[in-house]
Amino acid sequence: MKKPLVIGNWKMNLDYVEAIHLMQQIGVLLRNKPVEHTDLVVTPPFVDLRSVTSVVESDRIPVSVAAQHASQHESGAYTGETSVAMLQRLNVRWVLVGHSERRSYFQMTDDVVASTLRAVVRSGVQAVLCFGEELASREAGEHFDVVASQLQAALAGLDEQVRPLVTLAYEPVWAIGTGRTASVEQVAEMMDFIRATAASLSLDEPHVLYGGSVNADNAGAIMSEGRVDGFLVGGASLKAESFVAIAHASDDCYDGKR
Ligand code: PEP
């Protein structure tokens, strides 16, 4: 089993004061009961990044910081956008690319996902490529085709030297923020499919995460029976207790306690 990775996506929640508070709470819980086998990442809104990286550094919290999105462009007349280089200057080490909310609400097409992914990894920053089918595709039995096409569009032709910087996050849209988690069987068969598709695109054994209504109660079973390498967590990452409990559930799986 690879060293698991648990990423919290705070979405458009928490102003910078609230974000500092949550980060400090996570730091306290991790000091009281360290997470030993799982890498942790939090993904605050852009305006909170500087405050959160400062708390992480000053309190020496064993958590990396990610951005929720980045521009596909390097610099220039792109009002409202944030470049990967700007994020790097803030000690941001990871960027989510192509989250389903970016795809559906902000018209992020497969082409833009592909160029954003390249902008991120070209700078040496870790990318979490998010993908997954909508409910209608799942019900029509087209989920494998959708996932294959999203992976192909984002990964085909990616330079060999940057491929190790890519982590994959399967997030069925119907499971995000709905409380309707994919079953462990659905996750397990999709994990096999994603790993085979990634190999056919020359992506060598990437971490493959699951996201969609993960919480402290279901994380252990999804990791062990669903055979995932970690989680992308939305709602349950907004409370220090539930985020750290998911990290401990992941630790227990790695440690063979589940
Ligand atoms: C997400 O935002 O990527 C996510 C999976 O959200 P939730 O855990 O709330 O379903």
Range of the domain at 118: 5-255
Q: Are 162 and 203 in contact (CB under 8 A)?
A: no
For residue 143, give every residue at least 6 positions away whose Cβ sits within 8 Å of its Cβ, in sequence order, or none: 133, 137, 172, 190
Q: Is the pTM of this model over 0.75?
A: yes
Q: Are 117 and 84 in contact (CB under 8 A)?
A: no
| Element (DSSP H or E) covering residue 183 | none
Q: Count of domains in the chain?
A: 1
Q: What is the pLDDT along the chain (258 residues), one digit of tens a residue?
A: 899 999 999 999 999 999 999 999 999 999 999 999 999 999 999 999 999 999 999 999 999 999 999 999 999 999 999 999 999 999 999 999 999 999 999 999 999 999 999 999 999 999 999 999 999 999 999 999 999 999 999 999 999 999 999 999 999 999 999 999 999 999 999 999 999 999 999 998 999 999 999 999 999 999 999 999 999 999 999 999 999 999 999 999 987 765
For residue 182, give every residue at least 6 positions away whose Cβ sits within 8 Å of its Cβ, in sequence order, or none: 172, 175, 190, 210, 212, 226
Most distant CA pair in the chain, distance: 53
Verify whether ligand 1 is closer than 6 Å to residue 8 (CB atom): no
Verify whether ligand 1 is closer than 6 Å to residue 213 (CB atom): yes
In the set 69, 143, 171, 207, the catalytic residue is 171
Does the annotation mark 185 as catalytic? no
CATH of the domain at 98: 3.20.20.70
Instruction: Please tell me the predicted confidence (pLDDT) of residue 258.
Output: 59
Taking the CA of residue 171 as reference, the ligand 1 atom at the shortest distance is 5
Tokens encoding 100: 């389903």
Give buried/exposed letters for 169-196 (b at 16+ CB in 10 A, else e).
Answer: bbbbbbbbeeeebbebebbbbbbebbbe
Q: Are 208 and 132 in contact (CB under 8 A)?
A: no
Does the annotation mark 99 as catalytic? yes
Q: Three-state SS for 65? A: strand
Instruction: Report the residue among 5, 6, 7, 9 best suited for mutation to probe ligand 1: largest number of ligand atoms under 8 A from its CB.
Output: 9
Instruction: Please tell me the predicted confidence (pLDDT) of residue 254.
Output: 87
